[in-house]
Amino acid sequence: MTDDPIERVQLEQILEAVRWAPVGGNHRFLRFSAIQDPTIINLLRMVSPGMIQRPQAVITICANWDKLAELKVKGTDRAASIDVGAAMQTMLLAAHALELGSGPVTSFNKVAVGIILNLPDNVTPELMVCIGHPAPGYQMPMAP
């Protein structure tokens, strides 16, 4: 990824797209934290060995477990994983449509990320999506 900044409107378009991502039972328990502050992104990188990119923005997908309990959703861990995956894919596709590069990160310290993002105790970070401008000449490898 390059050091070129992401425009706020682009980040808002990605967030608008993920708002429409499918969720099981239409239970809206996911929350999103969008960060463009380089200092906070650097802190996130320190506790995220899986964040090899140097993104200009990071959107963290979070689960509100109190909301799931309130909805009496059975199999909450599985439901959360499926819905997080759908949200992630929606964001990756939206970023691609905006000619931005993006990549998911699942290797991070959940407690540390929660502290950095000042998340309430009932909300946990589940996955991060790094967003930036792709490096010149970068070609996405395709599976055979």
Q: 2: pLDDT confidence band, cut at 50, 70 and 90?
A: confident
- Nearest one of 19, 47, 26 to 125, comparing CA atoms: 47
Tens of pLDDT, residue by residue over 118-143, are 999 999 999 999 999 998 876 666 66
Q: How far apart are CA 98 and CA 112, in angstroms?
A: 31
For residue 78, the model assigns a pLDDT of 73
Domains of the chain: 8-132 (3.40.109.10)
Q: Is the pLDDT of residue 75 over 60?
A: no
For residue 142, the model assigns a pLDDT of 63
CB atoms within 10 A of CB 109: 15
